[in-house]
Structure formats: C-alpha cells, structure tokens
Structure 1
C-alpha cells in the first residue's frame, strides 16, 4: 500500500481573447496541503500526455514530494493527474530510464541513492565534462564567452547560502556542455545533472554547494586562451573536489 496519498492541485481557468478566437489557458496553483501529502498538477488535454505526466511526476520527485524508496502506484497517479494508466505507465517507463524510478520487489519505487551511487555518478560526470570542455574550446564563440562571463558576474553577487548559487553553478556547466555541439554528450550530461541534483536534494538537503567560483573563473580564463589541456585538467580536479565536498557533507 502506498505510504502517501495523492491530491490534485487546484486549477485556475483563465480565458483570453486573441484574434477573435477564445483560447483556454490553464494555470496551476499548488494547494496548501497537510504535511506529508504529495502535490501534483493535472494533465492538460493535448497530444503529448505522457510527456506532461513525465514532467509532473519528475517534479514531484525532484521537489521531495515523493520521497526516496516511496512506492509510486500507477492507478493513484493516473487518478491524481486526470489521465489514463497507460499514459502514466509510459511516463514511469521514461523515469526508470532516467534512473529516478526503479522496479523493486515487483513495485515501482522512487530511487534511493547510496554513497556508492554518488561516487559512480560523479566519476561519469568527470569524464564527460572533461570531454565537453575540450569540444567547447574548439567550438568557442563570442556568444558562449559572453554567457560564461555573465554567469560569473551574477555568481559573485549571490550570497553563499542562497539557493541561486546552485542554479548558477549548474548553468555554468550547462553552457560549456551545450557549447560542445555534441547532441549525445549533451543528453548524457542532462541525465547526470538531474541525478546529481536529486542526490544533493535527497542526501544533503539540496543547499550544499562547495566554493567553486575560483575554479570557474580559472576555467573561463583557460577557455578564452585556448588552453585545452589546462582547462580539461582543472575541470577534472573541479569535479573531484565537488565529489569530496558532497561525501564529506553526507558523512557529517
């Protein structure tokens, strides 16, 4: 039996007139629920229902509304989202591919990471981000340079305990990854980014981000100067330090 109940969010319907046609815009507002209740939105009728279900369930996992090791019951989720079990089944399949849901003892459960999993994911991340920065330097454009410079400027303005710091950290790495122009690499690192964020959230509270601004600034300088080896080596060290910081925080 599922340990949590699902409650649909309240829905606000707003009608907008545009080009003499009435369009329906559905805005979701999360309900104020009792502690322990799982919050999800409702499915909007459209062609990609399974993608909507995928994103809504994923959000519930990433925000901690669905806890690690908690069962995800297909029928209950379908009822909450206002869609079919087939739609939810496809969304669950996609989330198992992402590694956020697993099949365990015949049930679907939210992935519960271990310390070994953290080490594994950071090792993969290190190798892939080193490749990404090598490719990014070869493909470096003025737009990428400006994006990285802006990211560093914004990072310096943020307080050390601000949640925005983590977002800017991820953004810096995402800019470099996308500059690689390698679609497969971008997709792989997106999956790793999601799992890394989930691990931080579920294991260290999501608020822990070690000091990284100095490394980011030096990486940026090496990239501008076209120093591929130096940039790649520092990226490797940078990811290793991030892993050490996370492990230290978990053990403490």
Structure 2
C-alpha cells in the first residue's frame, strides 16, 4: 500500500474515481464497492471512503442508504440548471481574465487547441485530451480571478455538465475548438466584453447541441 499522507491519498483517490466516472469505467447507476476500489487503486479503504464523501458532496454520487453509494444518473434538468449557473458566472470570469493571463500560457494552450482541431476526430482513447484542454482553458481563466471559492464552484458545476460532454456530441469537436480559440484570442487582446460574449456563446452552443441531440432520440 502507498504511504502518502491521508489527505493527499484521498485527493488522489478522488481524482482517480472521478476519472473512472468520466471515462465510463464506472457507469451511471452503478453501485460503488469501497473495498474493490481500494484494491484497484492499491490504497487503504480510508482515503477511498473520504474520496467518495467528496464526490457525494459534489452531487456526482447518490447515497441510497448508510452503506450504498451510486454513480448519479444526471437528469437533463440537472444538466440545464448547472449550465444556467455557468452562464451567469463564466462570462464574468472571462471578462475579468482578459489581459490578466500570461501570454506564454495563452499561446501554449492555443497551440494545443489548434492541434486538436486539426485532428478533426478523436478516438475513445483520446477523449481525455479533449477534457484536459477544456479543463485547462476554463481553469486558466478562473485562476486569473484570484478567487479560489469561485473557482471551486465552477469546477464543481463543470464536472456535473461534463457528464454530457463530447462523448455525447462528438460532432461538436471542431465547433468547440473554434469557440475556445475565440475566447483565448479575446482574452489575449485584453478585450473583456468580447471575452464574456464569446464565453456566453460557447456555453449556449453546448446547451443547444445537447437539447437538439435529446430531441432527435
């Protein structure tokens, strides 16, 4: 077993379980087995238990009773509610970040987005790249606010809406990249209102694509 401090182990377990949920290893509705997760991650049950409590607190897991936790099946209403809050918060974050993010970090992220867009398609094994770039962009803007509480709120909301990410709408890859590039360019130029406008358009486009996909089912 690993011998890292309990808090660090819990955070590592949290990230790994979250990744299992995001990549489909743990599916919506699936019951979680604390002992099995501990064995898979080669840690004791204590950090796994702490990680599960954190995920429950974020609304990603659902408690059925004192012993059983389930991967929450996100309902479209939950998704739309979370997106509505993101629409209220993230344009303001983008506005504030304009002109405040180091140019080298923006350029590095822009290059990654352009590389991803040039691919035009990602396999199931590459989907984590899409999420990593998406997390990097939104995280970079949040970091520029210097407000860790706001950042934590947005991270939590994004994790809920990522259940409906590009795995559900793969045709959105190029559009998402274009929207990200527009946000990055506005931030790089220090154009706060334009950055807010592009962020609003991006989140609204994600919302529309999911609604359209559900209507086609």
TM-score bracket, normalised by the shorter chain, equals: 0.7 to 0.9
CA offsets 1:73-131 (integer angstroms, 9 cap, x no match): 33444455555444332221111123221212553111110000110121122222112
Query: Which is bigger in relative contact order (C-alpha 8 A, separation at least 6)?
Result: 2
Taking the aligned partners of 2:188 and 2:15, their CA distance within structure 1 comes to: 37
The equivalent of 2:5 in structure 1 is: 47
Q: Point out where structure 1 has 5 or more consecutive residues left out of the alignment.
A: 1-42
Does the 8 Å CA contact 1:133/1:176 hold for their aligned counterparts?
yes
The equivalent of 1:118 in structure 2 is: 79
The equivalent of 1:74 in structure 2 is: 34
Does the 8 Å CA contact 1:78/1:85 hold for their aligned counterparts?
yes
The equivalent of 2:152 in structure 1 is: 187
The equivalent of 1:212 in structure 2 is: 176
- The TM-score normalised by the length of structure 1 is 0.69
Describe the SS at the equivalent of 2:98. helix
- Alignment CA distance shift 1:174-1:80 (3 Å): closer
Residues 1:168 and 2:133 aligned together: yes
The equivalent of 1:18 in structure 2 is: none
Taking the aligned partners of 2:65 and 2:92, their CA distance within structure 1 comes to: 38
Does the 8 Å CA contact 1:166/1:209 hold for their aligned counterparts?
no
Does the 8 Å CA contact 1:197/1:206 hold for their aligned counterparts?
no
Superposed counterparts of 1:12-31, under 5 Å: none
Task: Select the residue among 33, 44, 60 that pairs with 1:100.
Answer: 60
Superposed counterparts of 1:227-246, under 5 Å: 227-246=191-210
Describe the SS at the equivalent of 1:109. strand
| Greater C-alpha Rg | 1
Describe the SS at the equivalent of 1:212. helix
Describe the SS at the equivalent of 1:46. coil
Structure with the largest fraction of helix: 2
Q: Aligned-residue CA RMSD in angstroms?
A: 2.9
Taking the aligned partners of 1:140 and 1:64, their CA distance within structure 2 comes to: 33
Taking the aligned partners of 1:135 and 1:45, their CA distance within structure 2 comes to: 41
CA offsets 1:125-144 (integer angstroms, 9 cap, x no match): 22221121122115233234
- The TM-score normalised by the length of structure 2 is 0.78
Does the 8 Å CA contact 1:53/1:87 hold for their aligned counterparts?
yes
Does the 8 Å CA contact 1:177/1:186 hold for their aligned counterparts?
yes
The equivalent of 1:222 in structure 2 is: 186
- Alignment CA distance shift 1:79-1:215 (3 Å): closer
Taking the aligned partners of 1:47 and 1:63, their CA distance within structure 2 comes to: 27
